[in-house]
Structure 1
Amino acid sequence: MISNDKVTEIFFDIDEFCKVFEPAFTQKLLEDGKKHRKRAFKMSMSEILTITVIFQLSGHRTFKHFYLFYIQKHMKSEFPDTVSYNRFTELMQANMVPLVLFMKTRCLGKSTGISFIDSTPLRVCKNKRIKVNKVFEGIATTGRSTMGWFHGFKLHLIVNDKGEILNFVLTQGNVDDRDPLKEGNILNEIFGKLYADKGYISKNLASMLFEDGLHLITGIRNNMKNVLMTMRDKILLRKRSVIETINDQLKNICHAEHSRHRSFGNFITNLVASLIAYSFQEKKPAIKFEEDIKSKGQLALFC
């Protein structure tokens, strides 16, 4: 169960963001020339976003049980003016924009020159129910990963050696892993070397990224010729499992993946909240790499 100190920490960061966001957002709203009633909400934006995020770290599997039996019963002092469950689910989706902006502006790490990229499937239903799934009809697609076929989306992540998320993008399940890199938006402010698995092998992609100052390093397939690389790169390529650990924590600790969504908006809210929740973890998967290794600068045969 999440501690009160952690709840306070998350609320403080979100509240500081909302103090800047709310006035700026209200000022930018378009007016239609009609008078509208400006009704004050019972719960503040900070409270709504905080509850949305701490659910991902609470250990509860369903948000309804978490809200009704934990927030409203055991956290009355922290959230005294809660609304009904149905109303809160409406407020969650209504506050999707500030949730995404908070993730993008306050929760992303900085590039250190050592980055890892990988994609992970986000299943929206079991395979036997693909044909009868109505919630994501026309949105989710069927794709294939190393674990087999799935129906849903792909989450593409870039992380640094400290385990911090640098950027992310969501695509349909049948999108090639290399496509987000070709578009380039996910690589903003990323520099140095980018380590990836064999699914990112592409001579044209590597050349394009190299021209932009980013060195893409991948493994090789069985039918490819051996290549030379520095021992440093070979060691770091083996450390690529750090991003797989992060993907596992996002799914099993922060609940980024489940099959109980009732709308696409609910899916996006849950995903972004899980990424924010991960950023508040005290201990993140990281790698320990000594710069002054004895073999630094030497070449190794990669096979």
Structure 2
Amino acid sequence: MLEATELTRLVVNKTVVPERRGRGRRGYGRRPAVRLLVYAQLKGIHRDARLVKHLQENPEVAGLLGLNGIPDRTTIERWRKRLSRIFEKAFQKLSEYVQMLVPTEDLIVDSTPLEDYQDPDARWGKYSRGWFKGFKEHFSVNQLELPLKTKVTTGNRHDSPFLPELIGELGPNRVLTDAGYDSGSNRKACRKVGATPHIARNPRNTGENYRLSKVLKKGRSAVERFNSRLKEMLQGSWQRFKGLTRKATVIYLGLIAMTAIALHGLILGEQDLIRKVSLYRD
């Protein structure tokens, strides 16, 4: 227990999480909050109720982490949401570096299910293989199959409304999507950012049989390879964490790892690095 707290204090320092100074009632502080979340990960404590109980049974831990008391579940959940936003911003910053090195020619937009039948926040949704219960990751990847934007939602959210958000400020030449994004507003959104829309026609809208052009087939295969790498890297880890916020945190951490290694490969001119899933797990 002492080793975990010492390691946590070593990792979470003033450089990583600067404290805010000001007037008003003193709270727990930023650094102790992050220390607690890191400590919980090191100890394998994933439920807030269990974490609160652990602190109550081991009050010396709270003191070693710098907490002036034991936070309740609501406070810890608020800290988790803040941490998730930090990871989201970190991924966005890495994505900007990717775009500096590799101008976006093709942008492929899609979603993938994150099945979890035990999570109370999970919702029923439908994708190409049928119904599932859980969550969704909505994302856009470039022609090198590198993720540029993402959003995690419950499984019942439709894909189409998220397209404008997933292509904004990326400057692609072409946007490739399946029929789930077939709408006039989405085509307009593509043209607004200067991109040519390649969106498969939805048979329910046209009455025609579903088919993909060569351009869309290429995009489809690219996004399926990205999905495969992401799922292989995560190995179902999102199922160990309950709630949308924690699911999103796990996804952002995975994407940060993928993008960081991809950047390393791009800088060294070794593009094969972005497809070596084993590196993401090491």
Interval of TM-score (by shorter of Structure 1 and Structure 2)? 0.5 to 0.7
* 1:224 equivalenced with 2:208 (yes/no): yes
Equivalent residue, structure 2, for 1:175: 157
* 1:237 equivalenced with 2:237 (yes/no): no
Q: Which amino acid aligns with 2:191?
A: F
Q: Over aligned residue pairs, what C-alpha RMSD do you find?
A: 4.3
SS of the equivalent of 1:120 reads: strand
Equivalent residue, structure 1, for 2:109: 117
Higher fraction of helix: 2
Please give the alpha-carbon distance, in whole angstroms, between the structure 2 residues aligned to 1:37 and 1:172: 31
Equivalent residue, structure 1, for 2:188: 207
Please give the alpha-carbon distance, in whole angstroms, between the structure 2 residues aligned to 1:196 and 1:238: 10
Aligned length: 218
Kindly report which structure 2 residues correspond to 1:109-148, keeping only aligned pairs within 5 A, or say none.
109-110=98-99, 111-125=103-117, 133=118, 135-136=120-121, 140-148=122-130
Unaligned runs of 5+ in 1: 1-13, 56-61, 65-81, 126-132, 228-232, 287-303
* 1:151 equivalenced with 2:126 (yes/no): no
State the shift of 1:116 in Å.
0.7
Please give the alpha-carbon distance, in whole angstroms, between the structure 1 residues aligned to 2:245 and 2:216: 36
Please give the alpha-carbon distance, in whole angstroms, between the structure 2 residues aligned to 1:206 and 1:188: 13
Unaligned runs of 5+ in 2: 1-10, 46-63, 66-70, 263-272, 277-282
Please give the alpha-carbon distance, in whole angstroms, between the structure 1 residues aligned to 2:140 and 2:246: 24
Equivalent residue, structure 1, for 2:274: 284
SS of the equivalent of 1:33 reads: coil
Please give the alpha-carbon distance, in whole angstroms, between the structure 2 residues aligned to 1:208 and 1:37: 44
* 1:195 equivalenced with 2:176 (yes/no): yes
State the shift of 1:149 in Å.
0.7
State the shift of 1:167 in Å.
0.7
State the shift of 1:160 in Å.
0.6
State the shift of 1:39 in Å.
9.5
Q: 1:107 to 1:269 in 2, by over 3 A?
A: same
State the shift of 1:259 in Å.
2.8
Q: Which amino acid aligns with 1:237?
A: L
Say if 1:256 and 1:270, in contact at 8 Å, map to a contact too.
no
Equivalent residue, structure 2, for 1:11: none
Q: 1:153 to 1:42 in 2, by over 3 A?
A: closer
Equivalent residue, structure 2, for 1:100: 88
Please give the alpha-carbon distance, in whole angstroms, between the structure 2 residues aligned to 1:234 and 1:104: 31
State the shift of 1:163 in Å.
1.9
Say if 2:125 and 2:156, in contact at 8 Å, map to a contact too.
yes
Say if 1:245 and 1:285, in contact at 8 Å, map to a contact too.
no
Q: 1:234 to 1:272 in 2, by over 3 A?
A: same
SS of the equivalent of 1:249 reads: helix
Question: Residues 247-287 of structure 1: CA distance to partner in whole angstroms, max 9, x if unpaired?
Answer: 1221122236643323443322212112212223452259x
Say if 2:159 and 2:181, in contact at 8 Å, map to a contact too.
yes
Please give the alpha-carbon distance, in whole angstroms, between the structure 2 residues aligned to 1:172 and 1:249: 21
Equivalent residue, structure 2, for 1:3: none
Say if 1:113 and 1:193, in contact at 8 Å, map to a contact too.
yes
Please give the alpha-carbon distance, in whole angstroms, between the structure 2 residues aligned to 1:208 and 1:155: 21
The structure with higher relative contact order (CA 8 Å, sep 6+) is: 1
Q: Which amino acid aligns with 1:102?
A: A
TM-score with structure 2 setting the length: 0.61
Say if 2:92 and 2:148, in contact at 8 Å, map to a contact too.
no
TM-score with structure 1 setting the length: 0.57
Please give the alpha-carbon distance, in whole angstroms, between the structure 1 residues aligned to 2:202 and 2:244: 37
